[in-house]
Chain A
Amino acid sequence: MKRIYISFLLFICTGFSSKAQELFAFTEPASNMAARSLGLRLNSTIFKDKVLNYNSVHVLPEVMLGISKKVMIHLEGVISNQGGTVYILDGASVYAKYRFYSQDDIHSHFRIALFGQFAWNNAVVHQPAIDFKGHNTGYEIGIVSTKLANKIAISSSVSLLHAMNNSNSNTFIYGDKSRNAINYTLSVGKLLLPKEYVSYNQVNVNGMLEFLCQSNLYSGKTFIDMAPVIQFIIKSKIRFDLGYKYSVSNTLERSAPNGLLFRFEYNLFNVLK
């Protein structure tokens, strides 16, 4: 089943002549931000924790740096209300992406990038699913490809994850063999507004649908999430995303699979030397 799904994703990604917008909310596209530019993000997620019965809130301030036309990095902090009590800084991550292939044409491109992430977290490990957005210490390496054409974008990624023990003596308690997983994603996006561009001041509205999947390489347990997203881009430099992620298939346990994502992003072009 897993193989069939991955084959399907690769088929979609390489053989399907699609059209789309690629600034996805739950995944990153193969494209990078502009060199010597800076992006500031404030991400927030609110998920209903069904085990402890509270709203698990994570606030993730993020800085993005365009190192060159092919390389960019993200630095992210994690602040959460562990157990619903106080907000504390309990994690951080660094993410890097290298765009190594780009086939561009007027109003279209096909790009492929390698990415890697290292995440640190000191919270209690409370689910076998691996999540580097505020739950686990570990690392991830993967490949993402994105096709953009006119008003439509389609993007797909495959990555390997390895969970380490969290800090604060919070061990990964689900067994050493269960520390490895594979993530695979499929995202499609469409520019809804404006119908025709005339100015940088026009508000852009993008609609997106993302599929986010993980399979544990030892247990074979899997989750598949679906996430519709609405995105607003203001003055061609400010971005606001609102997404809702929910589980459509879940054998790999998570305490809080369903919830909301808010993101505010501000881009500063050519500010780095």
Chain B
Amino acid sequence: MKSKYWIVGILIFATLQLSAQISKVNLQASGLTCSMCSNAINKSLKSIPFVENVTANIKNSSFEITFRPNASIELDLIKKKVEDAGFFVAKFEVVLMVHSLAVSNDAHIDINGTMFHFLHTDNKLVEGETTFRVIDKGYVSAKEFRKNAVYTKMNCYKTGLMGSCCNTKIKSTGTRIYHVTI
């Protein structure tokens, strides 16, 4: 019985607007080896209005992206810009500063207006700099996306959008929801 209250408590807490700020995104792109291809991604990412700086590691095809202060960050636009350059996202990590963030497995959390759905994650209280790895379609390999489907029965994992499986009291149906793991 106690555990039920604990879970309900976490869920209520999780639905509150949380104080958290995305400090950077680390991504790895797939499909390239040369520096001209890496530069195409680099330039494409730098064209995003809310991006402040991009630091590229050509050897690993990875990019560290920082953002303008108080900017509204759209993760899907970052992924689209990698694809526009002709490549794909293989790994996408969001680094946030969080304060007393109660994370619950297979549940939704609104963080500063962006919806997250945690999968394959222990129930815990998170404090300080934290890394979420986005595991939505297009943010990992197709093989990994299929593999991770075992961690939830909710349909929003397949669509990336809130649906009948989700608590639509937090956000309306059709809202983008990012599936992440810690």
Contact string against A for B residues 67-111, beta-carbon threshold 8 Å, 1 for contact and 0 otherwise: 000000000000000011111101000000000000000000000
**Which of B47, B56, B85 has the largest number of chain A CB atoms within 10 A?**
B85
The contact of A200 among B32, B33, B35, B141, by CB within 8 Å, is B35
* A68 to B84 Cα, complex, angstroms: 7
Q: Which residues of B contact A108 (CB under 8 A)?
A: 30-31, 33
* A191 to B58 Cα, complex, angstroms: 14
The contact of B58 among A33, A102, A150, A200, by CB within 8 Å, is A200
Q: Are A105 and B36 in contact (CB under 8 A)?
A: no
Q: Are A106 and B38 in contact (CB under 8 A)?
A: no
The contact of B87 among A104, A151, A204, A267, by CB within 8 Å, is A104
Closest to A265 in B: B36
Q: Are B58 and A104 in contact (CB under 8 A)?
A: no
Given contacts A34-B84, A104-B88, contact A236 B39 (CB under 8 A): yes
Closest to A203 in B: B35
Q: Are B36 and A236 in contact (CB under 8 A)?
A: yes
* A197 to B141 Cα, complex, angstroms: 24
Q: Which residues of A contact B43 (CB under 8 A)?
A: 34, 269-270
* A200 to B36 Cα, complex, angstroms: 8
* A169 to B138 Cα, complex, angstroms: 54
Given contacts A102-B88, A106-B61, A197-B58, contact A37 B33 (CB under 8 A): no
Closest to B43 in A: A269
| B28, CB-defined interface residue at 8 Å | yes
Number of B residues whose C-beta is below 8 Å from A? Answer: 27
Number of A residues whose C-beta is below 8 Å from B? Answer: 37
Q: Are A204 and B35 in contact (CB under 8 A)?
A: yes
* A22 to B40 Cα, complex, angstroms: 15
Q: Are B58 and A109 in contact (CB under 8 A)?
A: no
Rounded to whole Å, the gap between the CB of A273 and the closest CB of chain B is 11
Closest to A151 in B: B33
| A148, CB-defined interface residue at 8 Å | yes
Given contacts A69-B86, A107-B32, contact A236 B38 (CB under 8 A): yes
Q: Are A106 and B30 in contact (CB under 8 A)?
A: yes
Q: Which residues of B contact A267 (CB under 8 A)?
A: 36, 40
- List residues 193-218 of chain A with CB under 8 A from any CB of chain B: 196-200, 202, 204
- List residues 35-84 of chain A with CB under 8 A from any CB of chain B: 35-37, 68-69
Contact string against A for B residues 5-37, beta-carbon threshold 8 Å, 1 for contact and 0 otherwise: 000000000000000000000001011111110
| B131, CB-defined interface residue at 8 Å | no
| B44, CB-defined interface residue at 8 Å | yes
Interface residues of B (CB under 8 A from A): 28, 30-36, 38-40, 42-44, 47, 56, 58-59, 61, 83-88, 90, 141
Interface residues of A (CB under 8 A from B): 21, 23, 31-37, 68-69, 102, 104-109, 148-151, 191, 196-200, 202, 204, 233, 236-237, 239, 267, 269-270
Chain A to chain B: the 6 pairs with minimum beta-carbon distance, closest first: A104-B31, A269-B43, A197-B58, A236-B39, A109-B31, A35-B84
